Structure 1
């Protein structure tokens, strides 16, 4: 959610810190700051710290012209404790200025630690939970920075990714991780620290991903990892799977626009090598489950947050349709708090673009602690969830920068199609039906391209509804998750209130809100419920409600005279994947028409690493 960067080596640290923070802007933040250790041993101030509210460009403008220190840490903050203000921006420092800390996550017992420190005479300069760590490290009487950090963390409960600098030990940065990602980039006589590989790719292609409970001492010449008991651990750098060009706009106005247009290629990538025509099934070796194990599951439970939850609902319907196994989706953020019953004959599937979504990662821990089998649909290799699950399906959508997920979401839907096909063919799905679904999956990349041929019309429709105060999205059975995801996209980037309802529920209350000022976006697939969906649309029109239909060529809507966005027809089980694409475009063009920052919607973050 927040961003951490750090540098130690032979070059000035500030340029990397600023560049790295800029690369992490997509994660969402409201303030930024850096702290750099001076090269001048006689300098009155050994640490130069600059913090600003707003974008990284404001931070860069506020930096001294000469900032030559070769050790530094930086941070972009998404407010949790205390408002967006300079005093709350990171890095936070100890009272004597010796210790500087940047932190992602939440210190659960910060209030009690703060009270104890204040009783001991410590004066706090911020409202944050992070500042307690700086004071705890500074007050330690340990002989080394590593020991002081360990002592401080022994008093802390919560989640954290930390980077700590000490003026007494200017040759090192100590980092620690528990529940929030942290990566060490390995260079040539220089080392990098980041919470996301995007900050590293211009400088190194080798990195070490810390595990939960692991710490490291990072110097210009290398790193040493150890656990919470100071025992050495073994870490080997791995190749980063992100290229610099993947993170560029490449001529597009917004990352969201670029990523939507990358969907056909991303879809081809997730399907490549996974379609088995001979047996009319999917090859999913990454699940690490043999046919006998897969047949033993009597239920599938899918967990995700936000858009991942809604695509999980699509996936549950696919699994029930094709495999005839009871399946349902649930918000991962609520899962562990309702004392869930973990069943050994249930296959748990967690979904996360970043692989770092805190609520979903905690759900994985709960399932594994109680003996459940959990697999993941994750986009980022080496991420927390990818390493914690028993197996899974990598989405291979490529880096996704815009906060609103598009290509990763589509690949999640395709991955569920593969999983449903695989499970179905292990049970009662016929070879003919398996081949039907396989052919349907093969058609999807080309059909996504067809949707974009209607983009200009979709832009015009979006411009007409952008000025509304509220909007309804409605859909039924397979169409309902499409409506939920559509409403999510519309509200998060256009800031227009949007709600999703099952079409059948309109008459049970929401119809009272239909007015000429309240547009309704109706998902009407060409399926067995098409006539019922059309009847509901007529109820909206009878009350003079503006209506936009997202539908198929075979649905007769001409007699209603409504605005229709037509989507190519695929197999009924796979149609929701394609029906989602126009809702992305509607949201995007509405947000553009309203002049909003499409890639960085207010108050939101790309990877939600706090509860």
Structure 2
């Protein structure tokens, strides 16, 4: 992986390809390149580094009306000029860009080398270009079909033939590829974000599909050659949605957008007449929902942590057993899929490969699965067919902020809906609806504390290790706070249940290891005070995230207060200061906040 762009039409392809690459920079990458066809020859330029580094080495005249481009996130071979995409065959007739992993690349490479092929890179992707050159098929699409029958693994792929530049051929298995429909011009991308300046009408390929894209249209088919019918979808985002505006970083912009993101997630879904919520995308009648005896939530990274909070919400409000599990481990334990269990897949991008594989495992075994995703028309959304769209707007920074918050809000909507079907009273429903409506303004008041949090971050940034603790629903918030801090500041951070601190981690507490204590003023408040005393007794710095009330009975290094909500929604508000803390620690340490090292926004490989 990471990003694919393609263009075919009447305009010069190079500026469009470069613009698309810039749009995909948020996904994380280590090299970039493009290939443009002209006069039956390929012009290939690629380099290690950023898209701006590619711009510096582009010849003044690299022209052509058909081209493909790529940003790479290394899987096989270190980041380097020669490992950058596009890759070509020996004669430089075929160029390919590829997201995914070819699992049998080593054996294919051995066979090709035995036939006299010399490889120029260490990548798995290059084998595709050489296999295309060896194919006896008459058309590019048939050549690609024959190649893909030989490979094992995942791919989103675009192929260009210098001698037949009237088409780009694309294919998909486990890694997204979309077609953008223009006026006598067509676009290709791994993410609709690359296309929004030129079109809002897109076609998503499904796994096992191939498409021939020409300036005047496209044809889709299966790998066996059978025609398929596709319905274009409208991208709900505009080009302006992808600008940073007044902010220095996308992450900071997206933190600031959370009040509006929450409003969009709530919009049209509150039903005050019956003190419940309305979630049309569930497509499950009350009777079917009442048959559910257990809920299991699947996600990776922040999506898994949001799922942990979602499980807490569902258990508290609907009194249904609920749990969250990393989707990346789910299918490898040969899970028992129960007919009275509802599975929920969580993914901001809707393309996370591990989560998609978990969804397919549930469906293969006859289970019911819903999706909670942000990107309309994404693979997981289409695979699940029903669920909840976040409508949080595009999230460009690699780390999740507003989509994490909107995901928790979506779980709250679901929990209220399920609870009102069961034992949640109208009075409780009314309080929860009022609390949900109050969230945007409450988040805005927390954001007003940014200057003070930034000052605390300066102290935090001097350390190399930190700990986050919380109890009950506070523990997932501690997990999310630790994850954000290490993702973007590279400061080592770990999260523990506060009750587990004395069972081992306390050995690591020292004056050089600050601890963030997530402690709402709930039934466990007194126990959290005891945790603070345990840390202070070892001279550990303590930073407390809490709510207004009586002053703490002991001195601490800092207290950040957030507004009080309904108890089950308090964790959502307690998380906001931790986002700002991570951002300002990373800023103080001079990190690349929007594109942290080694990470990608959408993880489409296993």
**Partner Cα separation in structure 1 for residue 381 and residue 551 of structure 2:** 45
Give the Å deviation of 1:393.
Answer: 0.5
Match of 1:65? 60
1:280 paired residue among 272, 275, 279: 275
Match of 2:71? 76
Match of 1:2? 2
Match of 1:485? 480
Which residues of 2 match residues 32-111 of structure 1 at below 5 A?
A: 32-38=32-38, 40=39, 46-111=41-106
Q: Is 1:539 the counterpart of 2:534 in the alignment? A: yes
1:457 paired residue among 439, 452, 461: 452
Q: Is 1:253 the counterpart of 2:235 in the alignment? A: no
Match of 1:173? 168
Give the Å deviation of 1:558.
Answer: 5.4
User: How big is the alpha-carbon RMSD for the aligned residues of Structure 1 and Structure 2?
Assistant: 1.0
Give the Å deviation of 1:434.
Answer: 1.4
**Partner Cα separation in structure 1 for residue 556 and residue 227 of structure 2:** 71
Secondary structure of 1:414 counterpart: helix
TM-score if structure 2 supplies the norm length? 0.99
Secondary structure of 1:174 counterpart: strand
Which residues of 2 match residues 402-481 of structure 1 at below 5 A?
A: 402-481=397-476
Q: Is 1:591 the counterpart of 2:581 in the alignment? A: no
Q: Is the 8 A contact 1:526 1:555 kept in 2?
A: no
Q: Is the 8 A contact 1:105 1:160 kept in 2?
A: yes
Match of 1:153? 148
Give the Å deviation of 1:115.
Answer: 1.6
2:184 paired residue among 150, 167, 189: 189
Secondary structure of 2:567 counterpart: coil
**Partner Cα separation in structure 2 for residue 320 and residue 119 of structure 1:** 60
**Partner Cα separation in structure 2 for residue 116 and residue 26 of structure 1:** 37
* C-alpha distance after superposition, 1:314-342 (max 9, x if no partner): 00011000111110000000001111111
Match of 1:514? 509
TM-score if structure 1 supplies the norm length? 0.98
**Partner Cα separation in structure 2 for residue 474 and residue 165 of structure 1:** 53
Secondary structure of 2:554 counterpart: helix
* C-alpha distance after superposition, 1:467-517 (max 9, x if no partner): 111000000111000000000000000000000001011111111111111
Give the Å deviation of 1:562.
Answer: 3.4
* C-alpha distance after superposition, 1:50-87 (max 9, x if no partner): 11000000001111100111111000000000100111
Q: Is 1:357 the counterpart of 2:352 in the alignment? A: yes
Match of 1:11? 11
Give the Å deviation of 1:555.
Answer: 5.5
Moved over 6 A (4+): none
**Partner Cα separation in structure 2 for residue 219 and residue 141 of structure 1:** 22
Match of 2:28? 28
Secondary structure of 1:388 counterpart: helix
Match of 2:220? 225
* C-alpha distance after superposition, 1:508-539 (max 9, x if no partner): 11111111111101101110000100110111
Query: How many residues end up aligned between the 2 structures?
Result: 606
Secondary structure of 1:559 counterpart: coil
**Partner Cα separation in structure 1 for residue 530 and residue 555 of structure 2:** 10
Give the Å deviation of 1:241.
Answer: 1.1
Give the Å deviation of 1:168.
Answer: 2.4
Q: Is 1:399 the counterpart of 2:394 in the alignment? A: yes
**Partner Cα separation in structure 1 for residue 80 and residue 279 of structure 2:** 48
Q: Is the 8 A contact 1:458 1:586 kept in 2?
A: yes
Q: Is the 8 A contact 1:13 1:72 kept in 2?
A: yes
1:345 paired residue among 340, 344, 369: 340
**Partner Cα separation in structure 2 for residue 570 and residue 286 of structure 1:** 27
Give the Å deviation of 1:559.
Answer: 3.3
Q: Is the 8 A contact 2:544 2:556 kept in 1?
A: no
Which runs of no fewer than 5 residues in structure 1 stay unpaired?
A: none
